[in-house]
Structure 1
Amino acid sequence: MLLLSIDTSIRGCSVAVHENSTLLANYDLHTDRSSSSMLTTLMETAVKHAGFTLNDLDAIAVAKGPGSYTGLRVGVSSAKGLCYALDKPMIAINTLEAMALQLNAFYPGHLLCPMIDARRMEVYAAVLDAENNFVQQTQAIIMDEHSFQDLLLKHRIVFFGDGAVKCQQLLGTHPNAIFPKKESYPSAITIGELAAKAFQNEHFEDVATFEPYYLKDFMSPPPKKVSSLA
């Protein structure tokens, strides 16, 4: 089983190639903006350096969101294009679930709360246990001093991701709230690990109708006011 995985949930992009759950190649590009051309180059390079061609792939996996509206659209569109061109199945993985998989081995007995920055004091977040099961489902949360208080009474929670900065401002002094110093980003590596399991269970998406998990409607910035000389 050969999988190509893509994550464009936030800035930049990440791609990985797995063969039977073994990582063969991985490339990450951390820039403020990602583009379909940059992503295409990384995908082709990763597959080539793994010793295969795109035709050798058995499936394409993509982070479905939540995350950046533009980033998710680029990633899903690229995954769909490959699936159509190669006649391969597509697997979609929750971005936050894949983020939790990065840390669960390091925090046994803790709950994990991956966070992606939204706007103002809002974050996209979920809470998972050490076995990567959802304790609190993915949602958009406007952070305040009462957020997560019920869970924090009984559990130690690791808050991480680029949205955790907002959380730390409010909960940083709570004895059960943990904020790792090392930054964590969504990665195609854990997208591929979860996708390998999904492939075995034939959890494939309908390529024609699939849409990213935006979680909330896209809000464009307000138009600029143009002064009149009249």
Structure 2
Amino acid sequence: MTMVLALDSSTAACSVAVWHDGVIVAHCFEVLDRSHAERLIPMVDDAIKSSGHKFEEIDLVAVTVGPGAFTGLRIGISTARGLALALNIPCVGISSMECLCACIDGARDGDVILTVLDTKRGDLFVQIFDFSSKALCNVAIIPSDGVINFIEGIAKKTRCIVAGDALEPIQEALTTQGLVLVSSGTKFPDATQVANIAAWRLEAGRAQLPPKPVYLRLPDASIPLNVDGLRA
């Protein structure tokens, strides 16, 4: 019997899920924009209580590791690692883009899945998957007007399922290229998919990502080095 506690705070949404023997037995999801630090632990408590289980029964903690918001990633990963340390159990990382892809139902042979998140800095996090959720490229950060160059290898008139919160700025550019766009309706990663992916990898003996943030850009604020009066 396996139990997974999953967390996501990588975007404007914050979510927690509890997976137990193939079933999501508890789930909390809120779109916050901010306040992730204040809400995540109470959501964990609520999810565990709602599941009818105890913290001591958890076998694995899983958390999204990015790409995503710098602060949100730090909050989620530090919370997950702290819980795993306190419970003396493993903690693993799951890609935010893989979670978006996993939320999609009904993809068929020949479809491509474009996962895209707004960085809130004038560019986009993007990654492309095939219909079976196999990654066709590494995750990248591109300018909003660079999406055509990024997906130029996709055949004309391919059905493209888009998941993420940045469909609007790229929709016109993609449709002019002859792609048939289908919105998945999924804007943010969700802890339910974090749990499902982590549990599947655990039971299949697949390699897991470490719980370390995946940053594709430097944070906006940093500590200067070698400045008079400060120690490097």
Q: Shorter-chain TM-score: what band? A: 0.7 to 0.9
Contact 1:121 1:166 in 2 (8 A): no
Q: Which blocks of at least 5 consecutive residues in structure 1 are unaligned?
A: 222-230
Question: CA separation of 1:151/1:95 partners in 2, compared to 1, >3 Å: closer, same or farther?
Answer: same
**What do residues 78-106 of structure 1 show as CA deviations (whole Å, max 9, x unaligned)?**
00110111111011110101110111x32
- The residue number in structure 2 matching 1:55 is 56
From 173, 176, 180, give the equivalent of 1:173.
Answer: 176
Q: 1:171 to 1:13 in 2, by over 3 A?
A: same
> How many angstroms apart in 2 are the aligned matches of 1:96 and 1:205?
13
Change (3 A) 1:154 1:170: closer
Residues in 2 aligned to 1:130 and 1:204: alpha-carbon distance in whole angstroms: 22
CA distance in 2, matches of 1:38, 1:157: 35
Match of 1:224 in 2: none
| Equivalence for 1:8 | 9
Moved more, 22-31 or 111-120: 111-120
CA pair 24-106 structure 1, distance change in 2 beyond 3 A: same
Once structures 1 and 2 are overlaid, which stretch shifts more, 174-183 or 60-69? 174-183
Q: Aligned with 2:132: secondary structure?
A: coil
Check if 1:70 corresponds to 2:71.
yes
Task: Tell me how far 1:36 sits from its aligned partner.
Answer: 2.4
Residue in 1 aligned with 2:108?
108
Aligned-pair identity in percent equals 25
C-alpha displacement of 1:114:
1.0
- Between the aligned partners of 1:34 and 1:199, the Cα distance in structure 2 is 31
Counterpart Cα distance in 2 of 1:17 and 1:92: 16
CA distance in 2 between counterparts of 1:97 and 1:37 reads 26
Aligned to 2:196: 193
Kindly tell me: are residues 122 and 152 of structure 1, through their superposed partners in 2, closer, same or farther at Cα, counting changes over 3 Å?
A: farther
Matched with 1:83 is 84
Q: Which residue matches 1:228? A: none
**Displacement of 1:149:** 2.2
Mark the CA change 1:161 to 1:95 in structure 2 (over 3 Å): closer, same or farther. same
Deviations along 1:180-205, one digit per CA (max 9) or x if unpaired, are 17352210011111000222226456
What corresponds to 1:132 in structure 2?
A: 133
Q: What TM-score do the two structures reach when normalised by structure 1?
A: 0.86
* Pairwise CA distance, 1:153: 2.9
Which residue does the alignment assign to 1:117?
118
The one-letter code matched in structure 2 to 1:151 is I
The aligned residue for residue 26 of structure 2 is: 25
1:108 aligned partner, one-letter code? R
Higher mean C-alpha deviation, range 159-168 or range 80-89:
159-168
Which residue identity lines up with residue 77 of structure 1 in the other structure?
S
- Which one-letter code corresponds to 1:175 in the other structure? G
After superposition, the CA RMSD in angstroms is 2.1
